Structure 1
Amino acid sequence: MRTTINRLGVRTATAVAALALVANAAWALTPFQVQDIRVEGLQRVEPGTIFASLPLRVGDEYNDDKGAAAIRALFALGLFKDVRLEAAGNVLVVVVEERPTIADVDFAGTKEFDKDTLKKAMRDVGLTEGRPFDKALADRAEQELKRQYINRSLYGAEVVTTVTPIERNRVNLTFTVTEGEPAKIREIRIAGNHAFSESTLKGLFDQDTGGWLSWYTKSDRYSRAKLNADLETLRSYYLARGYLEFRIDSTQVAISPDKQDISITVNVTEGPSYVVSGVKLEGNYLDRDDEFKSLVTIRPGEPYNADRVTETTKAFSDHFGNFGFAFARVEAVPEIDRENNRVALVLRAEPARRAYVRRIQVSGNNRTRDEVIRREFRQFEASWYDGDKIKLSRDRVDRLGYFTDVNVETQEVPGAPDQVDLVVGVQEKPTGSLQLGAGFSSAEKVSLSFGIKQENVFGSGNYLGLDVNTSKYRRTLVLSTTDPYFTQDGVSRTLDVYYRTAKPYEDQGGNYQLVTAGGSVRFGVPFSETDTVFFGGGAEQTKIKAGTNIPAAYLSYAEKFGRTSVAVPLTIGWSRDDRDSALAPNSGRYQRLNSEWSIGGDARYVRANYQYQQYVPLTKQFTLAFNGEVGVGKGMNGRPFPVFKNFYSGGLGSVRGFDQGTLGPRDVTGASLGGPKKVTLNAELIAPFPGAGNDRTLRWFAFVDAGNVYGENEKWDFGDLRASAGLGLSWISPLGPLRLAFAQPVRKFAGDRIQKLQFQIGTSF
């Protein structure tokens, strides 16, 4: 690394030597009684700053010690590059030369980092406009800048600092960066492994030697933090498979002379594989030994598994917490029999003392009101400490979606060994959004969207949103507001006002429309911590607007019952969601049930839809996913089920490989009508995309789909199910979740419309 300094910088570099000379000059003065103090050389610094820092006052006797202390005090201010003391009779003259002031800090050649971000970082360390220039501080900033480039695998980056003097004792500071090419991981080797192949172990790493998608994933860029995480993954892999004494002996990271290639070698010692011979409990278990034994997941006769040991000790600690023992100590002590490669585990527990929660404090919520957080807590003040309730409370606050981080710390109360305080720390995130976007799908063609949402209006926890979506077939305008605590018991209330236009996905070239306008109110009642039941009601009006190529079924319905239909539907639903992610789930289950019953108006019907999703993690990389959906509707009061309430199937979101919305009954014109009965079954095997490492935002999947739609007078005939199989791509893109699927129908009938390649943004399954 080079540093270019102009004449001013050279003078600054001799500050230490100048200090010694000045000190000698000061000590050479003959002691005298100070009658006055005069300061010379000031340009921007106030004289009061000098007088406040001097250890001398008028009337004091000047001597060498006081002179040296005065010089040290003035240099410590960091405002001067030269200070000396002179005597004019009995007048002490303080002569200073101010440091130049920074006029501007700029960066050149920085492509890897945003320039504004770098300027902010410089401000944080004191290098900013209006501050005195400090050469040592600039050198440290230069080193830190290069270190940041090293973290991005840009080992060949060069940083040159240029200090340019300008008028009025100011300088411009410029960091010129030559970034160069990033160093790539060319080789990863694991030495000392015998039980598992090197390829298997390297497959656990997030870092790799790259693939054709490395430009996107950057998985071949070396990072010490990522390597440490990979080594922990490697250690956990062995410890979960019986290798109790596994250790990583050393890690060598070598870089080529041209700083472009990196080689990583990990040396390991596996040790023998141990089998658990038994599990014993020692200590005080509150006379609840059987309860604690039921929490043990360690099984004798199976290989030692560190994950199960940790899981068991944590379960013990949490269970102690349920009885108020916040400081319980649980330790798993292995008794190793190396001759027989067996290990017995002794679980020792000491519950210590029982504790009450004295106070719950909330911090970090600059915008969100305290009550919004407190009302989610199930642990109360002045109650026994309950670990389950505290964890549940923390999870409920996190699920609000208003915070990037939520943590609960337990603090002992000084002088009160049986009391604790809970400190709830949150980090708020912006909860308002303004969205403008455009999308394209093989079925909907071009669609535009606009949305303005505020999930935490004025910090009250209420939701307010406006959504506008337009496409070739469906257009929507929705105004919605939700009060999650409409009552103190946590009953939510949602108000919706909507206006929708739609027509079947079949492109007939016609201009007919179904226009629906209405409003609804819905309440959500929490029946348990994981289950919510929704119920409500509304009113809506649907118009069948005639146009060219209107399907005969719509025309027939309009002639019999009128072009305008009014419905007064009551709604009831239920949901449960414990997936680990809503966008890229790897485990968990999602269920929802929605139903509506129109009890008034022209359109009388009942309609229900149930969906079940299950995600099963096979390995760290592979996930098996299942989806099932059943919909059913029926007309009431002697009327048929309204055609504008029909279900549709075919295409993304149902049975891929068939044209969107074309399965099921057709009218005499050949138009797809949908129907009041629907069944959909999907299975997917999800894996990281080749070359993308373990990146879950970009994955491919193999799938099998089956499903169909049935008319009101048709029986459920699973012999008529359509089925397909194929491959797809899932990408959580900046525009939203994108899914691309290529499907081959494996069960089809005459007249079915096939569309093998389909894609869409914002769908699932």
Structure 2
Amino acid sequence: MINKRVTTLLGSSLLSLSISLAAQAQNSDSFIIDDIRIDGLQRISPGVMFGLLPISVGDQMQPGMAGQIIRSVTESQYFEEIEVAREGDVLLITVLERPSVSEINISGNDVLETEDILNNMREAEIYEGGIFTRSTLEAISQGIQEVYSSRGRYGTTVDIEVTEQPRNRVAIDMTVNEGEESRIQGVNIVGNQTYQSDELKDLMELGTKPWWLPLSRRDRYSREQLEGDLENLTSYYLDNGYARFNIDSTPVAITPDNEDIYITINVSEGQQYQISNVDLVGDLVNAESLLRAYTLVGPGQSFSQALITASEEYMTQILGNLGYAFATVEGVPEINDEDQTVEVIFYVDPGARTYVNRINYAGNLSTADDVLRREMRQLESAPASSQQIELSKVRLERLGYFSTVEVDTVEVPGTTDQIDVNFDVQEQSFGSVSFSVGSGGGGNWFIATDLQAENFLGTGKTVSVGLNRSYYSSSANFSYVDPYYTPDGVSRGFSVYAQKQDGFLNVSSFSTTSYGAAVNFAYPISEIEQIGFNFGFGHTELSAYGSSAQEIRRSPTLFDGVDRYIISEANTNPWNGPLSDAVTAPLSDLPEEYKYQTGAPGFIDKYGREFDNFTFSTNWIRNTLNRGQLATRGTFQQAQFEFSVPGSDLEYYRLTYNADYYKPLFGDDWVFHLRGNLGYGDGYGDTDELPFFQNFFAGGLTFNGVVRGFEENSLGPQSTPPVVLETGFTELATDENGNVLVGESGHANSFVRDSGAYLTVPVPDANGDPLLDENGNPVLQLATTTYQFDRDRDNFGGNFVTAGSMELLFPLPFVTDRSRVRSSVFFDVGNVFSTDCTTQQSLERNCSDFSIDELRYSVGVGVTYLSPFGPLTFYLAKPFTRGEEDDTKSFDFTIGAGF
């Protein structure tokens, strides 16, 4: 930043006495130096001083050598004065050391950081503890003023005060008066004829400030920025055929008050040139046709320096892929001014073919070298390939274990054809660990622990362990995946699980007891694709309650132990007739059609309660993402087909497809992201529907149906509340002799039995009047009521899901490590549908087949942070379409899921 200007100051610092003594020593007779004595040293050690002398004890002192001694010692800049004298055969050297800098204080600077000023002073050898040189300090002052001037602050002054301190030390106090920034009031381009000035000014960062952008800094002058703008203008002309374009001068005028700046750019456009011929010369290593295929310029095209530069880069990369790591390609335009043509000659120098000596790794503190080495596509002792080295870097990034991966190639010392490839990685969280224990009161205790390690103990293997226990659920699971079961990248994994879950006070309540195991394999079919297979077995037992939804079990159903129905209620009021007990009859006497056993059968009614299923699934994955976590470019696609093997207790299949697309807009900070999820399932053979416990869900951050702004799993078809038979009847109270007990009012004492008999209601005829039997008595049927614990119905899921999201990823301010933090604004859409809606669901309008009108939409902002305990995701969302039964959730956060 500040030019280093150091000059040797002797002048007044060298006393006339030393000069005369030097002259006298030059004219005296020579002698053999018996000893050298140095006086005046304070900080400089004698060893350093003797190292500066061009002579030593035992040498012969010749005429003229005193001047050499003075010059040699003076060049070190350690000393202010030097005297050389002789006492017999002893050479006497007396010195006066320059002062040292004890402290440096800088004030008044805002534009330039104090650290930057101190660093540049250190480059000029002015620093605390160093030697003080006033001439260097003055050069620093001038350099600081020049830096401020280059940033449009022409009125900057620098005041320096040097204070002498004891023990030959000085303190430096520097006060900077930065002044005001000068503003650009005009930019004038002179000499342009082909392009309008306004068009050229649009290529520049500097210029006058637009009136509609009051906070713009476009009018803040910077010499570096002006140079960049001039390069933009030059490139624009050269890329459009003007091979002789030149910027003649760029005078910058400043008003006397240093407030306004006017910039003039004088240009010479010249004529537009065409390319007449393209030739390749040099050692083309038998790859001329391949190199020409990547040459972007050809005869008849307008001259373009940008295309020439791009061709150089492509050909250099091709040669690098062929093993010539130090290849150079230079495109030289030979201009013919007579016919305005340019012949482009590419000079190719492949250098020696390069081989990889060693591949080294740094930064992997937890991850074993073997985990990185097996991702290498560039091998040791093989020809170095730029393509294979870059592919190796990409594969490390896709692992998801590292936040950054840097690669560098270094020439092996003493060789011309070998390089070392050095990978430097920075590890990040590649799993999650959680443990919790507590109580909700009333015995609602729980204990839970989960471990998800995608790089278990640095081995590259994935291990997941979970143990959970609460008053309503118990589960245990374990899974293991070895991504390199074979050296060629075939992965193998297995999992086992056991779970028991009970549901209470839930409209679609049921309980399950299940256990199972699975083994899976995945085979790479290319660098970016793999196909996998999974074989599994699962045992499931279903239990339903009286409150279970009609889709799970037909309702109403008879209760165990209740085998009578009421013919007439008890009479406790003597004014209504004789006091009498309720009259009941055996349930077997009631015709079947009046027992309400004709409701549509539920899943349990059709398929039973206990199932053994063997499943097989295959999946295809194509991954070009640049990172395993929080990617910023590339695509990811996954398609899976899962089905239960014919002969299983339940026969069904499921198809899913998930895709992500990332497109950087401005570097890797501003990124456009599209995501889509599709899923469909159904039964086959003896199973007419997808089992309800295999349904898809949507809402919140559900894997197959992300629609933020709604409760987790809350969208789509809902369950139908069950119809429940009513029981209980009034019974008269009697004494020990069987006599009815009567109160003072004359009413019989009674009590209500909660069970023991079903309540009844008359069966209506076609007109709505009670239907009578042959004896004229009303025909009875069992009474029912709809059971619903609260107004909200539970989501039941469906066999078809569609969801998508459109996001703009943007950087958060003040966040330096953006590989661990992602923020976005998003638009989500999706819902769950069913192609097997029951009649009751359709009547109650809580289930529908796919319809665009039924899609749900939301907008919001979200943040994901890769914490040491796994991804933490927060979002704020606002739904702008919703159904009457939809449950919304404006804010949510999760652990272990990202977007």
Q: Normalising to structure 2: TM-score of the pair?
A: 0.56
Partner of 1:202: 202
Of 525, 529, 532, the match for 1:531: 529
Secondary structure (helix, strand or coil) at the match of 2:14 reads: helix
Aligned to 1:665: 717
In structure 2, relative to structure 1, the CA distance for the partners of 1:23 and 1:425 (3 Å cut) is farther
The aligned counterpart of 1:474 is none
Distance 2:375 2:830 in 1: 41
Instruction: State the one-letter code of the partner of 2:836.
Output: N
Q: Give the C-alpha shift of residue 65 in structure 1.
A: 1.9
CA distance in 2: counterparts of 1:530 and 1:261, whole angstroms = 58
Residues 604, 635 of structure 1: 8 Å contact kept = yes
**Deviation at residue 68 of structure 1 after TM alignment:** 1.9
Q: Does 1:27 align with 2:23?
A: yes
- Asked whether the equivalents of residues 554 and 643 of structure 1 are also in contact (C-alpha less than 8 Å), the reply is no
What aligned pairs does 1:425-436 form with structure 2 within 5 A after superposition? 428=424, 430-431=426-427
Q: Does the aligned pair in 1 maintain the 2:662–2:672 contact within 8 Å?
A: yes
Say whether residues 1:647 and 2:693 are aligned partners: no
Name the larger-Rg structure: 2
Q: Does 1:48 align with 2:47?
A: yes
Q: What is the match of residue 75 of structure 1?
A: 74
Which residue in the other structure is 1:628 paired with?
A: 676
Aligned partners of 2:206, 2:889: CA distance in 1, in Å? 37
- Tell me the distance in 2 between the aligned counterparts of 1:761 and 1:205: 44
Matched, 1:708 2:831: yes
Q: Which amino acid aligns with 1:717?
A: F
> Is 1:591 matched up with 2:641?
no
User: Are the equivalent residues in 2 in contact too, given 1:413–1:421 (CA < 8 A)?
Assistant: no
Q: Is the 8 A contact 1:279 1:298 kept in 2?
A: no
Correspondence for 1:424:
421
Q: Secondary structure in 1 aligned to 2:167?
A: coil
- CA–CA distance in 2 between the matches of 1:80 and 1:226? 43
- Where in structure 1 are there 5+ consecutive unaligned residues? 1-11, 437-451, 468-477, 499-507, 509-513, 545-549, 690-696
Aligned 8 A contact 2:397 2:626 in 1: no
Change (3 A) 1:361 1:303: same
Q: Are 1:610 and 2:743 counterparts? A: no
- 1:660-682 Cα offsets, whole Å, 9 max, x none, are 86542345633573735321245
- Identify if the C-alpha distance between structure 1 residues 220 and 324 changes in structure 2 by more than 3 Å, giving closer, same or farther: same
* Matched-pair contact (CA < 8 Å) for 2:701–2:897: no
**Please, which moves more after superposition, 143-152 or 20-29?**
143-152
Structure 2: 5+ residue runs without aligned partners?
1-6, 433-450, 466-476, 498-505, 507-511, 554-601, 722-790, 813-819, 838-847
2:10 is aligned with 1:36 = no
Matches within 5 A, 1:507-522: none
Q: Is the 8 A contact 1:631 1:647 kept in 2?
A: no
Matched to 1:710, the amino acid is F
Q: 1:145 to 1:37 in 2, by over 3 A?
A: same
Distance 1:713 1:134 in 2: 91
1:703–1:104 distance in 2 versus 1, CA, 3 Å: closer
Corresponding position of 1:720: 853
Identity of aligned residues (%): 27
Distance in 1, matches of 2:796 and 2:195, equals 57
Tell me the amino acid that sits aligned with residue 628 of structure 1: G
Q: Which has the higher strand share?
A: 1
Label 1:17 to 1:299 Cα distance change in 2 as closer, same or farther (>3 A): closer
Residues 496 and 308 of structure 1: is their aligned pair in 2 closer, same or farther, counting only changes over 3 Å? farther
Which AA in structure 2 matches 1:26? A
- 1:355–1:385 Cα contact (<8 Å) kept: no
Contact 1:664 1:672 in 2 (8 A): no
Whether the aligned pair in 2 keeps the contact of 1:531 and 1:574 (CA below 8 Å) is: yes
Change (3 A) 1:203 1:589: farther
Alignment of 1:104-123 (within 5 A): 104-109=103-108, 111=110
User: Contact between 1:616 and 1:625, CA under 8 Å: does it hold in 2?
Assistant: yes
Q: What is the CA deviation profile of residues 177-216 of structure 1, one whole-angstrom value per residue up to 9, with x for unaligned ones?
A: 445566666666666375467368626759994899997x
TM-superposed deviation, 1:67:
1.7
Shift of 1:16: 3.5
Q: Is the 8 A contact 2:355 2:383 kept in 1?
A: no
Question: Quick one: distance in 1 between partners of 2:306 and 2:802?
Answer: 40
Shift of the alpha carbon at 1:360? Answer: 3.2
Alpha-carbon displacement from aligned partner over 1:470-497 (angstroms, at most 9, x marks no partner): xxxxxxxx99999876764456789999
Do the aligned partners of 1:105 and 1:127 also contact (CA within 8 Å) in 2?
A: no
Return the offset for 1:262: 5.6
| Alignment-derived partner of residue 801 in structure 2 | 678
- State the SS of the aligned residue for 2:22: helix
Mark the CA change 1:322 to 1:359 in structure 2 (over 3 Å): closer, same or farther: closer
- Partner of 1:86, secondary structure, is strand
2-structure distance, mates of 1:106, 1:603: 82
Aligned length: 702
Cα deviation for residue 607 of structure 1 reads: 6.5
- Measured in 1, the distance between the counterparts of 2:537 and 2:893 equals 35
Q: SS in structure 1 opposite 2:74?
A: helix
1:406 corresponding residue in structure 2: 407
SS in 2 for 1:673: coil
| Structure 1 residue 66, shift from structure 2 partner | 1.9
CA 1:722 to 1:376, structure 2 compared with 1: closer, same or farther past 3 Å?
closer
Q: How does 1:297-312 map to 2 (within 5 A)?
A: 310-311=309-310
Query: What is the 5 A alignment of 1:205-284?
Result: 205=205, 209=209, 222-236=221-235, 248=247, 250-251=249-250, 266=265
CA positional deviation for 1:591: 3.0
Please, which of 11, 14, 18 is the counterpart of residue 13 of structure 2? 18
CA contact (8 A) 1:214 1:220 kept: no
Contact 1:678/1:710 (CA < 8 Å) preserved in 2? yes
Contact 1:655 1:706 in 2 (8 A): yes
The offset of 1:633, in angstroms, is 6.0
Q: Is the 8 A contact 1:37 1:93 kept in 2?
A: yes
Per-residue CA deviation, residues 332-374 of structure 1 (Å, 9 max, x unaligned), is 86898998x9x7x877678778964444355795878987776
Cα distance in 2 for partners of 1:760, 1:315 equals: 45
When residues 355 and 258 of structure 1 are mapped into structure 2, their CA distance, relative to the original with a 3 A threshold, is same
**Secondary structure, aligned partner of 2:38:** strand
Higher mean alpha-carbon deviation, 72-81 vs 574-583, is at: 574-583
Say which SS state the counterpart of residue 64 (structure 2) adopts.
helix
**TM-score scaled by structure 1?**
0.63
Q: How does 1:749-760 map to 2 (within 5 A)?
A: none
Contact 2:494 2:519 in 1 (8 A): yes
Q: Report the CA distance between 1:252 and its aligned residue.
A: 5.1
Structure 2 letter corresponding to 1:17: S
The superposition leaves residues 493-528 of structure 1 with CA deviations (integer Å, 9 ceiling, x where unpaired) of 899999xxxxxxxxx9xxxxx9x9999999875432
- TM-superposition CA deviations, 1:88-109 (whole Å, max 9, x none): 4544332222333344445445
The range that moved more, 377-386 or 24-33, is 377-386
Contact map agreement 2:623 2:637 (CA 8 A) in 1: yes
1:59-114 CA-to-partner distances (Å, cap 9, x unmatched) read: 55545522222222333334322222234454433222233334444544555566
Change in CA separation of 1:309 and 1:739 when aligned onto 2, cut-off 3 Å? farther
